[in-house]
């Protein structure tokens, strides 16, 4: 909030995407969460899309003291995302309640220390409704996502936030759809597709048995070959079937005979 108040909203939006990099590096270095190359590529694409989307004004890249506050906020959120991941196995309702009460109380105390005045009564109910959706439901669904995806992947998905915000501005505020928006859309779809593929893929090994018949030195033989394979499954891992040519199975015969 301080960063926005003494800087520009366009600059804050652009710098806010640094949360993706911060959360990923923290997840990798401190929390030892595995980040595969496909996810790195997805994060790069989503970050690029968010940056393209953030170039709304000529001063989008202007640097100010406010930028330092925004960057500090993104690093804090990176730590918060990973810490929440560590306790995401607990009751989601308890986590949301405790985080909401503590963060709200902390914000009020900080605001009073900075000399902020209490809002007018007319703004209380709209602020409560906004907070319920933008913070309450947001945190609840975010924690649910972290239980399955992990901090790095959830942060990558979260990078779509400014993109969705821009889309709503076209629908609700009737702002003009720009060429930059179209380019950002294409890059965002590519990045999101990589994240989804990385999220849904499950790689593990299975033992398979193949029985085949071949003719060798004028006689026909039937062999049973057992071997292991690395499989990558998407959505479900119930099916593990695959095929080999007779020549491929014949190469495994010496291993079986030994």
What torsion, rounded to 10 degrees, do the Cα atoms 72, 77, 82, 83 define?
A: 100
Residues 226, 253: contact at Cβ < 8 Å?
A: no
Rg (CA), the chain: 26
pLDDT above 90 as % of the chain: 3
Question: Structure tokens of 6?
Answer: 């003494």
Could you tell me the CA-to-CA distances from 218 to 191, 214, 221 in Å, in that order?
Answer: 56, 10, 10
In angstroms, the CA 206 to CA 227 distance is 8
CA nearest to 214, candidates 177, 251, 185? 251
Residue 134 confidence (pLDDT) = 84
In angstroms, the CA 152 to CA 118 distance is 37
Could you tell me the CA-to-CA distances from 211 to 2, 142, 219, 246, 250 in Å, in that order?
Answer: 70, 49, 17, 10, 11
Sequential DSSP letters for 43-55: HHHHHHHHHHHHT
pTM over 0.75: no
pLDDT above 70 as % of the chain: 71
Least confident of 83-97, 164-178, 217-231: 217-231
Residues 100, 136: contact at Cβ < 8 Å?
A: yes
Q: CB burial class (10 A; 0-12, 13-18, 19+) of residue 212? A: middle
CA nearest to 21, candidates 212, 132, 159, 141? 159
Local confidence band at 126 (pLDDT 50, 70, 90 cut-offs): very high
Alpha helices in the chain, H assignment, sequence order: 2-6, 9-16, 18-29, 37-54, 65-86, 92-113, 121-131, 138-149, 151-158, 161-172, 179-200, 246-250, 253-257
Query: How large is the average pLDDT for residues 156-182?
Result: 77
For 231-243, b where at least 16 C-beta lie within 10 A, e where not — what string? Answer: beeeeeeeeeeee
Local confidence band at 125 (pLDDT 50, 70, 90 cut-offs): very high
Least confident of 1-10, 103-112, 189-198, 236-245: 236-245
In angstroms, the CA 187 to CA 45 distance is 6
Question: Structure tokens of 106?
Answer: 């902390």
Could you tell me the CA-to-CA distances from 149 to 71, 130, 133, 152 in Å, in that order?
Answer: 25, 27, 22, 8
């Amino acid at each position: 909030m301080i960063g926005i108040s003494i800087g520009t909203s366009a600059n804050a939006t652009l710098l806010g995407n640094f949360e993706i990099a911060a959360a990923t590096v923290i997840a990798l270095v401190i929390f030892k969460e595995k980040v595969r190359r496909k996810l790195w590529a997805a994060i790069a694409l989503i970050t690029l899309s968010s940056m393209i989307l953030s170039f709304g004004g000529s001063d989008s890249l202007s640097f100010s003291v406010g930028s330092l506050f925004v960057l500090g906020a993104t690093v804090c959120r990176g730590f918060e995302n990973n810490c929440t991941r560590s306790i995401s196995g607990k009751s989601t309702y308890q986590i949301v309640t405790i985080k909401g009460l503590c963060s709200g109380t902390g914000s009020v105390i900080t605001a009073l220390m900075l000399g902020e005045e209490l809002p007018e009564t007319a703004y209380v109910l709209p602020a409560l409704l906004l907070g319920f959706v933008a913070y309450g439901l947001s945190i609840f669904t975010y924690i649910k996502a972290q239980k399955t995806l992990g901090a790095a992947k959830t942060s990558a998905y979260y990078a779509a936030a400014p993109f969705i915000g821009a889309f709503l501005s076209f629908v609700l505020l009737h702002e003009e759809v720009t060429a930059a928006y179209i380019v950002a859309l294409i890059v965002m779809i590519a990045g999101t597709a990589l994240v989804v593929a990385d999220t849904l893929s499950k790689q593990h090994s299975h033992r398979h048995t193949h029985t085949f018949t071949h003719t060798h030195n004028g006689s026909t033989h039937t062999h049973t070959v057992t071997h292991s394979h690395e499989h990558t499954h998407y959505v479900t891992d119930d099916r593990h079937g695959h095929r080999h040519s007779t020549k491929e199975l014949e190469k495994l015969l010496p291993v079986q005979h030994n």
